[in-house]
Amino acid sequence: MTDTTAANYDLVVFGATSFVGQILARYLLENYGADKEVKWAIAGRSEGKLNQLKSDLGAGAASLPVILADAADEPALRDLCGQTRVVISTVGPYALFGETLVKVCAETGTDYCDLTGEVQWIRRMIERYEAKAKESGARIVHCCGFDSIPSDMGVWFLQQQSEATFGKPCQDVRMRVKVAKGGLSGGTVASMINVAKEAGADPKLRKELANPFSICPPEHRSEKRQPSLKSAEFDKNFDAWLAPFVMGAINTRVVHRSNALQGARYGKEFTYDEAIMTGKGTKGRLTAYGMVGALGAFFTASAIKPTRWVVEKLVPKPGEGPSPDDQEKGFYDLRFVGKTTDGKTMITKVTGDRDPGYGSTSKMLGEAGLCLAFDVKEDVKGGFWTPASALDGKLLERLQANAGLTFEVVETR
């Protein structure tokens, strides 16, 4: 187990030269400095690229330490973990490049967070390394970007408000993306293509991906049928048409795991789903059906080898993504509708002030890592956690104070 009292750094950004890694490094430098109250370093496999990143970050990064380690080099990763209390990993697709670092963190007692949205990989990591993490004391927290902090912490916030207002949690919660503006990076697209590729080759995995409790402890299940939007649908709560939300496949699983790890705080028969609002009337309806068709075509083409190369030619490559200006102009507004068992309703919203996938994700990921380093409660022992179950109110405070997120109650009735 890592002796955290002897660690050189509070956190290390592994994969710092990746698209998100660079944004994250700039965020940490601008908000926390290079060697002030937070001791941190950048890490990756290319010394040249890491030094170029320091140069791009400016004079303030001159004292920023560099650690060399490849994602597949276990001895180098062990050395890295011996120097830090927390590792933030941006090296994806995680199913291809992420396992060795999770293994080493679990074995050495080093806290870890990432921004994966690859539910099949998370399940494998839990099965293989949770026992080790519990033994060593490592807190492993996946999904600390747009998938799934706004959803996970949004439900946590709604339930806190419901308990305070109604005296009980909402047993049914629906998240609706009211608006989101921002582009996709090549890394995210590569992860989505890899999930489709794995699922296309494995019927067992396809069945698992349809299970909303796939990353919950085995004993946590619900007899109540979970909602799952497959096609266009009209939502009376918001008088708008809906289409499936591509991130819902991971977000719903994370929210259910949060409920399980909090002792079914949201209820043993808790139901949850996500969708994106496409507008009202005929235009909203046609947009919804168009999105359904586009999503289906993307995943079908990505799953089949003869057409996968066409998709890969058309989409952004790893390392590519929205410009700094586009990140600044991006934003999102998510609405949560919760209903209690006795019919009371609460509507809340979560907003972010940057593009969801990168400008906002980098800030959320950085604050999650800092929360792991400085704010985790003593009763959060080693194991695989979610943002809400491990970081709860402390993370909410950080997100609102530093990361440009807001959490608000809109309506109760």
Q: Are 309 and 129 in contact (CB under 8 A)?
A: no
DSSP state letters, 15-64: TTTSHHHHHHHHHHHHHH-SBSSSBEEEEES-HHHHHHHHHHH-GGGTT-
Say what the pLDDT of residue 325 is: 78
List % helix, strand, coil for the chain (3-state, nearest 5): 50, 20, 30
What DSSP assignment string belongs to 296-365?
HHHHHHHHSHHHHHHHHHHSPPTT----HHHHHH-EEEEEEEEE-TTS-EEEEEEEESS-IIIIIHHHHH
Fold of 4-144+361-393: Rossmann fold (3.40.50)
> How far is the C-alpha of 318 from the C-alpha of 101, rounded, in Å?
20
Q: Find out whether 118 and 191 touch, Cβ atoms under 8 Å.
A: yes
pTM for the full predicted model: 0.92
- pLDDT reported for residue 188: 66
CB 388 within 8 A of CB 153: yes
Report the distance separating Cα 153 and Cα 278, nearest Å: 24
pLDDT averages per 10-residue partition of the chain, 413 residues:
67 95 96 92 97 95 96 98 97 92 98 93 96 98 95 98 98 96 68 72 75 92 85 93 90 96 96 96 94 79 68 61 78 97 97 92 97 94 98 97 98 95
Q: What is d(CA 271, CA 257) in angstroms, rounded to the nearest whole number?
A: 12
Question: Is the Cβ–Cβ distance between 144 and 113 less than 8 Å?
Answer: yes
pLDDT score at 328: 81
Q: Which two tokens stand for residue 3?
A: 């002796």
Eight-state DSSP code of residue 91: -
Tokens representing 148 are 């799934």
What are the extents of the domains in the chain?
4-144+361-393, 149-356+403-412
Quick one: angle between helices 149-166 and 361-374, nearest 10? 70
